[in-house]
Structure 1
Amino acid sequence: MKRILLMVFRSLFNLPFWFFRIFQLCNIEKYDSQTRYAFLHKIVPIVIRRGRITIHVTGLENLPSESGYIMFPNHQGLFDALAVIQTHERPLVTVMKKEVKNTILLKQVITMLQAEIIDRDDIRQSMQVIMNMTRRVKAGENFLIFAEGTRSRQGNTLLDFKGGSFKSAMNAKCPIVPVALIDSYKAFDTGSIRKQTVQIHYLKPLYYDDYKGMKSTELAEIVSGFIREKISIETSVID
């Protein structure tokens, strides 16, 4: 919370215009996805820098050359999505839980990104989200899904990835990009405003031929395994 307040305080001069522009860009009939996302991609690095956070990114060359893929990062906290938006140039769509859909500003960002809202307690609605994602990925949109379902709250330790999170990718037969986030939890969840470096590593994608015939639970284990391995390598170097 302290770092969020610091970001807000250092951005007071910009906030009126930013809020105005965000509300303006909620008009999805007038502004295309590239325009809407470009604004977030522009202001997020400014906010992050004012929060005394540096992003170290590797693996951008691993992102498929054509859109229509799904990224699966580990989930450490509220900062995760900001790290992805800063480093990922092409428009992306997120999947968010229903509890946040009416939160001020997040509500507008959901509209801007045309995010999918999922109710984990409603099986029928969850299936509809999976079908929507499959259709949209096939149409060339990129998605961001946190397959753990909730943030870890255990630092750089992963929770189990849920097999159901991979259903859309398997149905769409699209590339799957594992993404390793390291120390992202330190941005907002430690109560500190000390300078921090957050790492984000885009790992080599899995294409349909790589996972064809697998069960979703098997695919979930493989993707989480790649992320665990990368985190282990990078944190051991730091230590």
Structure 2
Amino acid sequence: MKVTIGGPLKVAFRPWVEGLENIPAEGPAILASNHLSFSDSFFLPAVLDRKVTFIAKAEYFTTPGVKGRLTAAFFKGVGQLPVDRSGGRGAGEAAIKSGTDVLERGELFGIYPEGTRSPDGRLYRGKPGGLARVALASGAPVIPVAMIDTEKIQPPGKVMPKLMRPGIRIGRPLDFGRYQGMEHDRFVLRALTDEVMYEIMKLSGQEYVDMYATAAKRQIAEAAKAEKEQARKKKELSDRVGRTLSRGVGAWPSASGS
């Protein structure tokens, strides 16, 4: 499936890559990437010789019907791992367990520290609960990755991609052996995550925002809702004034009858 999908992707989009030499030929490693587009999980594996396993929403694998089965087969084929993320802390533990299992098999595990796609192309604060805990539990090196321009190819909500060249920059592996045994220290988890996000920022050239992307999405949604409500009230006022003026004009005496 990787050959089937990866080949056409490389031919159609011709992604450029820097730093391929930083991917180990064998052994476990964590690829920590920024997240600009749904297609990130396809472009990164397409340019690598080794399989990369990402975590995906369980809904992609459980949707009924023919379309649901095809979607599930596609995601399994490109190395997506189903995890139910609706259960709060339990979901987080399941994701960490899935990641460490992949690494224990000596494979590559891909993760997006921001936790969700960037709503505006900027780089947001990394969540320490996933990346840092998997890194410390496994002892695997963390390789920072920057996806470039993938949000322009397939913005959120768009089905048909635009043909253009995305880029991928792969940084040098980061060793966090100095933190072994400290996976329950929240300050260590925060420091490790911030160090990785800083490396991703240098690779991507993105503006960094010191807040979570989920919070930014809420703010954007609330602002859009407020703007829509303001526009509705403005239209109501305009319509009301129009009706008042119309009634007033109809009540005025005509020039011939004065």
Normalised to the residue count of structure 1, the TM-score between the two structures is 0.71
> 1:89 and 1:73, CA in 2 relative to 1: closer, same or farther beyond 3 A?
same
Cα drift, residue 186 of structure 1:
0.9
RMSD: 2.5
Amino acid in the other structure paired with 2:170 = Y
**2:111 aligned with 1:145:** yes
Structure 2 residue aligned with 1:66: 26
- Of 210, 215, 218 in structure 1, the residue corresponding to residue 191 of structure 2 is 218
8 Å CA contact 1:120, 1:126 repeated in 2: no
Please list, as runs of the form range in 1=range in 2, the aligned pairs for 1:150-189 lying within 5 A after superposition.
Answer: 150-155=116-121, 157-166=122-131, 167-189=133-155
The code of the aligned residue for 1:108 comes to A
Which residue pairs with 1:86 in the alignment? 46
Deviations 1:138-180 (A, max 9, x none): 221211111111100212x112111012211210011111100
C-alpha distance in 1, partners of 2:98/2:204?
32
Aligned to 1:28: none
Is the Cα contact below 8 Å between 2:28 and 2:106 reproduced in 1? Answer: yes
Kindly provide the amino acid, as one letter, of the partner of residue 200 in structure 2.
I
Q: Deviations over 1:168-223 (max 9, x none)?
A: 12100111111001101011118686542211011101123365457121111111
Is the partner of 2:168 in helix, strand or coil? strand
Q: Any unmatched runs of 5+ in structure 1?
A: 1-38, 234-239
Other-structure match for 1:8: none
The one-letter code matched in structure 2 to 1:202 is I
Report deviation, 1:64. Answer: 2.1
Correspondence 1:202-213 to 2 at 5 A: 202-209=170-177, 212=180
Q: Which has the higher contact order (CA 8 A, sep 6+)?
A: 1
TM-score by length of structure 2 reads: 0.66
**Residue type at the aligned position of 2:188:** K
Task: Give unpaired runs (5+ residues) of structure 2.
Answer: 207-258
Q: Distance in 1 between matches of 2:178 and 2:26?
A: 18
| Cross-structure match for 1:130 | 96
Aligned residues: 192
Which one has the largest radius of gyration?
Answer: 2
